[in-house]
Structure 1
Amino acid sequence: MSKAAIITGGGSGLGKATALRLAEEAVNIAVVDIDEEGGNETVDLVKKEGADAVFIKADVSKVEEVKNYVDKTVEAFGSIDYFFNNAGISGSGEYYLDTEISEIEKIVGINLMGALYGVRYVAEVMLKNGGGSIVNTASSAGVIGQDSVVTYSATKHGIIGLTKSMVAEYAKDGLRVNAIAPGPTETKMVKEFYDNNPKMKENAEAGIPQKRLGTPEEVAELVAFLLTSKAQYINGEVIRIDGGFTNTK
């Protein structure tokens, strides 16, 4: 029987690249995103790879919509084996005391509450079926402090706490939960952030020992490895993929 995965933020960037990488392994994909056009495009590309896929529209900051994407995935594929808990936003790049409260609430709602809700309802299904594998998207800003992204950084530090604590509670029951901590990567979200804050792109590239941004495909290889049976004894880890960026901090 084919494995099934949920990927939030699957309409672009890391989510899209991971969907295509898992499709190469014949994994069926529930593509979850607020963006219908991007989500359906990913579905079409997955199907061209020979796997099955469905698009489920959801605002992950709303618990009812998270429950819905979990239920719809089980309806479509019968189980949830893998979960790439990836949906997130960055913010305006303003210093924290200049950031609007509405922006803080939005970032926390999507990045942290969305991730917490996702793990809550996906893990419930996985544990009923004997276990499963989750990869949460943290960030280089989740392992070090960075200016201009205080709220984002706080949510990504929270993702790491979620990852480690779920393992403490449920590893014995067959659940694996790991996190990735990408540095600056060539995604739509990062491009838009740097378009609004061009000096920060210069600073980022200068601070990366490999002197370039990462690619979504590079991150997708790591996520696919962590999700699947190739990484059976890796649990509770936060794996940096940043060209050495945080190694120098």
Structure 2
Amino acid sequence: MRTRRRTHRRSARVEYQLPDEAESASRARMLTSQFLARPALRAVELDAEHIDDAALIVSELVTNATRHGGSCRLCLHVSDTQVTVGRRRYPCSPFRATEALRTVTLQPDRGDGAHVRSSRPAVPFRTPELFDECRMVHARGELDLTTVAPLVHALEGARTGCGRVFLIVDLREVTFADGSILRPLREAWDDCRARRGWVRVVHSSRGIELVLLGGGVLGRFPAYASAQDAWRGTPTAARGAGHAPTSTRTADGEAR
């Protein structure tokens, strides 16, 4: 006589109603992080990177929903193998409300940085002889739809005047960033390249790397470990250093 062993799968699901306002993205990230960090989900073995990935996806989804108007309902589902994030837009019929779900699959990190691939950055026109020839922009805290304006203004201010612009954007103190950083970085890139200069980004955040990858600009903005490395044109990968991602958990902050 054969017996079959039944496998008990752990899962949890929750939904949150969010208002039609820009601040909903920040609140959605907080709710997502709190839900996924609950003691009841410890058996699923969610680590900080998985939680940060889910928070990033949630921020993008909710930001898109609020930009196009209408409240939305955030849906989170956790199983033994994956975290599924989705949203429902209202008002509309229940059948049309469910949008395509995005999934963060829990795959072990092989430790070789192979989870993100990028093309080789374009060769710059030249490297300035002196570090002081570079212009610096620093940012810190959270960068999303409601907080990215200071960074936008700083990038614009750093490109005033004539001649070549070699711009270093230091994001090492940024605790969270979503797709809101893509447009100002693209505009700065286009402007500086047209003036035979460049833009280089200093960071060690896996979350920022995922945003750049998703926006199709990771090849333009490889990570640099320091402002000095950015000046010399030595990306982190070229130094043979593995990623040491910083957390993208939510925290109050601003860009300067």
Give the TM-score band, short-chain normalised: 0.3 to 0.5
Greater share of helix residues, 1 or 2?
1
Higher strand share goes to which structure? Answer: 2
Larger radius of gyration: 2
| TM-score where L is the length of structure 1 | 0.33
